[in-house]
A and B are shown apart, each in its own frame.
Chain A
Amino acid sequence: MKRALFLASSFSALAGCAQATNALNESPFHNVLELTERLNHLVIGTRGMARLYTEADIDWNFRTNSFSTPSDDRYTRLVNDGFRSYRLLVDGEVKAKSVYSIAELRALQYLAQITRHDCVEGWSAIGKWGGVPLHTVLSLAQPTPAARCVVFYCFDRADDGTPYYESLDLHEAMHPQTVLALDLNNHPLDPDHGAPVRLRVPTQLGYKSAKWVHHIELVAALDHIYDGKGGYWEDQGYEWYAGI
């Protein structure tokens, strides 16, 4: 369905010159509509904790709703060697650049929580996500005072070659429930669910929970990264603040 979303968003790009209503969706009017995001971020923000569910609530056949398993050569090699050569790089505005294998990530700290995944499309599913709290990884990397945002680079690409990426502000990244998930429903993530490492942000919509993460970069600003909106879906017009 995220593929459907992707198609839908390319529809809106294609329709650009054909539709009278599109004039209303272009600058500067569009910029006015986008102001709402800041207001929503200010009012709703990242307060409180996502509800924790029980084993009885779990969707054992958790919906996959994204690009299929990445066709990237690097990713295919990793799948073939069981992710033994996978390394997560943490760099950017940090004092201690770090690199982790899957085993090293598992040894850091392990948190399993059963939370609801809410898709921007409107559906919800419940899964048990286990992995390293992101704040643990970030604390070890020691962000510099310049660090404002955390960017997640992923293995997958859109059909046109655009890499998938996501970002959170430092506050959202340090939320105790924001996790680098390694397991789903008591099993290591499979390639369709984002193996070997995916972000899991239960306080925001599903598109923030990037799959197939291989590189985390702390940055002072997002505007120099790809189209500058802070993520693949954000560059397609979705809000960077996805708490609403």
Chain B
Amino acid sequence: MDVTAGQASSAPPFADSQRLVYRHSVTTRVTHWLTALSLLVLVMSGLQIFNAAAFLDASDKTDPAHRVLSIDGGQTASGANIGTVTILGHTFTTTHILGYTDDGMGGETARAFPGWITLPGYQSLADGRLWHFFFGWVLVLCGGAYLIVGFARGDIQKLVLRPADVPKLIPMQLYYLRLRKEPPHYGKYNPLQKLAYTLVIFAFVPLLILTGLALSPGVDAWLGPLPWLLGGRQFARLWHFLLMLVLLGFVAVHLVLVLSTGVVNNLRSMITGGYRLGKHEGLDA
């Protein structure tokens, strides 16, 4: 796009700016949507599995003295249905939302997470496990394919946070908070994107997989140090749950930014690969 003389002061810092470019490879796009589906299924079936023992302990064996969270349901002395959430000893009444809630079959019952958020909706630990383990493999295989192809193509190298990006993190955050007029110069991904994606791809998702594996007696016998490092089997269950919340937080921020930074352009880049560069964006950094 031509820049008129009057706007010269805001001239694009990159020659490529505002051009339509091919941003995401077929591998990236396919694995992105399969990963999104996997995470959705894993969270919903994970909550189904959680419902079978609706508490989390910071210990190896089950130990109420180290209870961090429990979701309980039943009847009060007067016979009224009640659901409660207890976090570190503080109890909150959550009837109809958590503890005593949607049974997935049109009624209500004592169960931790409601049927509308679990997979399957009705209470079935056996089916929840089948869904969870199948999509666990989908996630692992997708992640593996993405990493291998991404490294070979050089996509990952552009995504990883590097030392040179660190000084740009705060200016970028100030720009997002509208406390700074211009963002720092960056290439395919801005420094905060790099930080978020680096943490998710190389820390949160691998830790989610490892903490999940540490729940398995077969894995614990095989890789004894794994549950030990996590503080024990029940502690691994707590980590697995907390990391799920962290990942949900990432997804929430991701969705807000997808919607607020040009939703059509962003979605197109993840469907056809075509992406119109913003005025601060270049092809490389």
Contacts and interface: CB of A to CB of B under 8 A. Distances in A.
Contacts of B119: 21
Contacts of B123: 8, 11-12
A231 B105 CA distance: 28
Interface string B132-175: 01101100000000000000000000000000000000000000
Given A121-B125, A124-B62, A125-B62, A33 B120 contact: no
A116 B133 CA distance: 23
A89 B269 CA distance: 67
Contact of B60 (A46, A63, A124): A124
Given A50-B221, A121-B52, A244-B218, A25 B137 contact: no
Interface string A14-46: 010011011011000010111111011000111
Contact of B130 (A9, A30, A39, A116): A30
Given A36-B136, A204-B218, 11 more contacts: A8-B123, A21-B122, A34-B130, A35-B134, A50-B220, A51-B224, A122-B50, A122-B53, A122-B215, A126-B61, A205-B217
Given A32-B134, A122-B53, A123-B62, A237 B127 contact: yes
Interface string A104-115: 000000000000
Contact of A36 (B49, B50, B130, B213): B130
A11 to B, nearest CB: 6
A121 B120 contact: no
A122 B133 CA distance: 15
B218 A46 contact: yes
* Prevailing SS type, chain B contact patch: helix
19 contacts: A11-B105, A21-B119, A24-B120, A30-B130, A33-B133, A36-B134, A48-B222, A48-B223, A48-B224, A116-B60, A118-B215, A118-B220, A120-B125, A122-B237, A125-B62, A126-B60, A238-B125, A243-B218, A244-B216
B121 interface: yes
Q: Which 3 pairs show the lowest CB-CB distances between chains A and B?
A: A243-B218, A122-B53, A237-B126
A119 interface: yes
Nearest to A44: B218
B105 A18 contact: yes
Contacts of A24: 120
Given A12-B122, A18-B105, A36-B130, A120 B52 contact: yes
Interface size class of A (residues with CB under 8 A): 35 or more
Interface in B89-126: 104-105, 119-126
Contacts of B49: 122
Contacts of B120: 12, 19, 21-22, 24-25
Contacts of A46: 218, 221
A140 B254 CA distance: 62
A5 interface: yes
A118 B219 contact: no
Nearest to B232: A124
B70 to A, nearest CB: 12
Contacts of A1: 53
A208 B104 CA distance: 29
Interface string B204-218: 000000000101111
